[in-house]
Amino acid sequence: MQTLAQSLQRRSPVLCVLDHTRTVADAVAVLAARELGALLVTDRNDRVIGVFSERDLLRRVIAEGRSPEHTALAEVMTPSPVTATPGEARESALRKMQRAGCRHLPVVADGTVIDMLSMRDLLFYELEERASEVDQLRAYIQGSY
């Protein structure tokens, strides 16, 4: 099983960060423009204090009839997000996300968020690894190794 660091080496970091005082409308515009499903929310000292996702938009803004233009991210974000480290195994990160019921996982190194992975990212990496293993087994069985 690969570590998150090995998975992260295969792509450029995907980080989107907004201040907690920005509005939901601001966040939606950024998420749409960057084609992302979530972003990090920071406090006045640039510390990560939450994650705002499409799920938060639906459950805490739209479903509650809040105005995206007048609602601050701090009011509707998921606070204190679960995080992972680069040395963590992908399987461990997936279990962590499953237990927390989240779909986005900030990856933190030396106290700094270096990337954010989605459940989809991790599952795609897992599928690619499995496909490679199947190809190797086929080659072995067919004697073309």
Superfamily of chain region 7-141: CBS-domain (3.10.580.10)
For residue range 2-32, what is the model confidence (pLDDT) as tens digits? 899 988 888 888 899 999 999 999 999 999 9
Task: Kindly write down the DSSP assignment for every residue of 37-85, as one continuous string.
Answer: SEEEEE-TTS-EEEEEEHHHIIIIIITTT--TTT-BHHHHSEES---B-
Q: Which two tokens stand for residue 29?
A: 């515009």
Can you tell me the distance from the alpha carbon of 90 to that of 5, in angstroms, rounded to the nearest whole number? 9
- Residue 144: per-residue pLDDT: 65
The pLDDT tens digits for 63-102 are 999 999 999 999 999 999 999 999 999 899 999 999 999 9
CB count in 10 Å sphere of residue 21: 13
